[in-house]
Amino acid sequence: MEFARLAHTFEELERTNSRLALIELLTEPFRLVEGPEEIKRICYLVQGRVAPFFEALEMGMAEKTVARSIALAAHTTPEDVLQRYATLGDMGLVAEQLRRVDEVFLGLRAIAQTAGKGAIEQKIARLADLLTQVDGVSAKYVVRILVLATWHIRSKNWSFSKNGYAT
């Protein structure tokens, strides 16, 4: 299962007050699992963990450390992240707020500017890194932007044929 689906489940859980609705929402990810290992991983993630309680494995990242990571990813300062955190009260909301078109644009621009010996391998690595930073739908359009020379827009709708290429 894609993490994006689980993340959307978490979003719905946050907005739900009804206990029965919470239970129903929480069962959805388990209906989509591909194997027993994935069931364990979903259980751990729902608890905010990556291992069972008896295993001495903790994330080991406090708020300031996470703020530094978000700042690095968003091309801003840790102070900016911490100020937004003070306002919003949720580091996850700060990370969501700072995700921008700029990140994808700068990633694609870096790919385009890569030249010289070993450029193809560097471009492959940069695209792979960029694809790990976006959700599935975003990844589809990142790849299409790279593959297609021209986008055709008809009225307000993107125009794609069944094979995914512009018509």
Cα gap 141→118, rounded to integer Å: 26
Residue 143 tokens, joined: 């790849």
Among all chains, which residue has been given the structure tokens 């007050």? 17
Among all chains, which residue has been given the structure tokens 């993490």? 3
Cα gap 32→38, rounded to integer Å: 10
Q: Quick check: 151 pLDDT over 80?
A: no
Band the pLDDT of 100: cuts 50, 70, 90: low
pTM strictly above 0.85: no
Domain segments of the chain: what residues? 3-46, 63-98, 101-158
Query: What one-letter code names the amino acid at 49?
Result: R
Query: For the chain, how long is the longest CA-to-CA vector?
Result: 59
Of 107, 147, 150, 106, the C-alpha closest to 127 is 107
pLDDT in tens, 107-129: 888 888 888 999 889 988 998 88
